[in-house]
Structures are given as C-alpha cells and as structure tokens.
Amino acid sequence: MNDTGSAIERIAEQLEALGEAISADLWRELGRAGTPPKKVPQPRGRAGGAARTAARTGPPLDIYVTPHEVVVEAVLPGLTSPQQVSVSLVGPTELLIEAYLPDRLPDGLYLQRERFTGYCSRLVTLPAPVRPAAAASYEDGLLALRFQRASPGTGSDGVAVLHVPDKVG
Amino acid sequence: MTTMHEGPPPERAGPPVDLVRRGDRLILLAAVPGVRPSDLWVSIVGDRQVLLEGTVAYRHPLPRESLALGERTYGPFSRTVHLPLPVDAGQVAVSLQDGVLTLDMRVRAEAVHLHWQPREAGRLERHG
C-alpha cells in the first residue's frame, strides 16, 4: 500500500457521488422547484473561498462572504417553530444545520405526497472563519444566518473579498 | 436504461406538491420557498386542474457567480397539477406562508362520499 493517500481520495469521491445520487430524490422538493440537483460548475473569482460540503444530504444552501459577514441561506420550507431547527458551529468554519420539517396535515388522507417532511441535517465548511454567534431570520421558507467573520475584511487563506454594500432594510 | 418517452425538461417540472383529502375538502400543499406572493400565480383550470406559475427571484446582494456556494434554483417555474376529484373553483382559499402554498378547495357536491349504513345482518336472508 504505497498509495494509500490516493486510494482514500478515490473512496471519498465515490462516497460523494453516492451521497449526491441518494439525495437527488430526497431533496428534489426543497427549494429546487422540482429540479433534481445538478452539478453546477463553480466559476472562479467568487468572493470568498469555496464552501466545501462532503455530500449533498441536506437542504440546498447559498453561501456568500462580505467584508464583515458570512451569510448562509438554507431552504427549509414549512417550519412552524424555532425549535424545529438547530444551528451549531463545530469549529470556526464547520457549520451544522439540523431541522425537522413537520407534516402539515397529519390527520388528512394523502392522495399524493412529494414534499419532504421529517429530519434532515447538513454539515458544511464555511468559506471563511466566523465568530460563534449568528443573526438568524426566517422568511418565505428560507433560513438566513449571518455570521460575523473572525477576521473581517482580510484576504487571508485565499479568501478574496469584493466590496458589497450592506443590505438595507 | 431507456425511458418510454421524453418528458418535459426537469427545470420545468415545478414545485413538489401534496394532495390531501379531508372531509369534503381537497387541500393542495406546494413547496415554493423564496417565492413571494407577488411572484406567484395560481389558476384553477376547469374543475380538475391547478396551474402553478411563478418566479424564484434572486435577491442576494452580489452576483450569482460570486457565491461561495450556490445550490438554490432561480428563475421561472410552471406546473400543472391534475386533481383526482372535481373542485368548486369559486370556493378556494389560498394562503402562502413560510414557503408553503396552501390551496383549500371544496370538492364538488357530486363527488362527495355518501354516508351509508351496512345492511343489518339477517335482513337479506329474510327477504331472499
């Protein structure tokens, strides 16, 4: 075994592919408007480093970096209580989102069921280190988390920063 | 593996939908996260179809190509949902909350289940 490193890398790639294949069905409904997840080539030159995620086994996420914040938006339609979602930082760049999407009409007779309900979680590597505090908002089925960056405005670790006006309102 | 026919492109498949029967109501739930009321159009076509049309608007303060991770889908969508029972298009309650569209529709009278009693045991034998 003189090539253990690359073997592990291959296994990791296979797991990632497997995870995406499984989640294609599970997460079709969560914000993708019925579109199965597709590999979107990440263009170069974005603000912040790449946000890494092992396998797509949770709600779809949008993540971007401003000079002072890392903003994460998770697609979680139909939450009825803040207790149904839990957000944890496993480290300065490791974010864990866990959620329970409740059944809206548990006493009804379901003739067709496509929406996802139940537990889901997502572990993602943030593009820049953040402080362990976030401002959260929930609107239109989107959970928005705004983290203060640990070192605002710096371009260290390959993190390029574009100037973005602060969101008003 | 081959498919029998070419379906519509997945981008046009539209939001996922639940259909729930509850008494004389037929309730449609559609997941439309990120869609505001002004960006959503709902039509009842005849008494057996619901047409959902809308747009998922991009609202981040920087361009899409600058996102560190961009997994959400943006743009217009359209979906026609066939209802298993006819509904009264004049009696539909619509609400949009937390990214879930709810259409509470009344099933047309002729399609409502009738209440019936099983015949009493022994009757058939006496008549027969």
Region B21-48 average pLDDT: 94
- The total domain count for chain A is 1
Residue B121 in this model has a pLDDT that exceeds 70: no
User: Would you say residue A22 lies in a domain?
Assistant: yes
Shortest CA gap B119–chain A (Å): 27
Domain for residue A163, yes or no?
no
Q: Would the pLDDT of B75 be above 70?
A: yes
B14 vs A45: CB contact, 8 Å cut-off? Answer: no
Q: How confident is the model at residue A155 (pLDDT cuts 50, 70, 90)?
A: low
Mutate to test the interface with A, among B25, B71, B103, B105 (most CBs of A within 10 A): B71
Confidence of residue B33 (pLDDT cuts 50, 70, 90): very high
For A66, list phi and psi in degrees, rounded to 5: -115, 175
Q: What is the pLDDT of residue A61?
A: 96
Give a yes or no: residue A111 inside a domain: yes
Q: Helix count (H) and strand count (E) of chain B? A: 1, 8
- Across the A:B interface, residue pairs with CB atoms under 8 Å apart total 170
Helix/strand/coil for B64: helix
Has residue A164 been placed in a domain? no
Contacts of A65 in chain B (CB under 8 A): 68
Structure confidence at residue A12 as a pLDDT band (50, 70, 90): low
Closest-CA residue of A relative to B70 is A62
In angstroms, the CA A161 to CA A153 distance is 7
Q: Provide the β-strand partners of residue A26.
A: none
CATH (domain of A132): 2.60.40.790
Give the per-residue pLDDT at A23. Answer: 38
* pLDDT tens per residue across span A14-53: 545 444 443 333 333 343 333 334 444 444 444 445 566 5
Q: pLDDT digits over A88-141, tens only?
A: 998 889 999 999 999 888 888 999 999 999 999 999 999 999 998 889 999 999
- The reply to whether A27 falls in a domain is yes
- Compute the average pLDDT of residues A135-156: 87
- φ/ψ bin of A92: left (φ > 0), alpha (ψ from -120 to 50), beta (otherwise): alpha
pTM, whole model, 2 decimals?
Answer: 0.70
Residue-range definition of the domain harbouring residue A134: 4-158
Cα separation values, A160 from A10, A85, A152, B73, Å: 29, 31, 12, 25
Averaged pLDDT, B57-69: 94
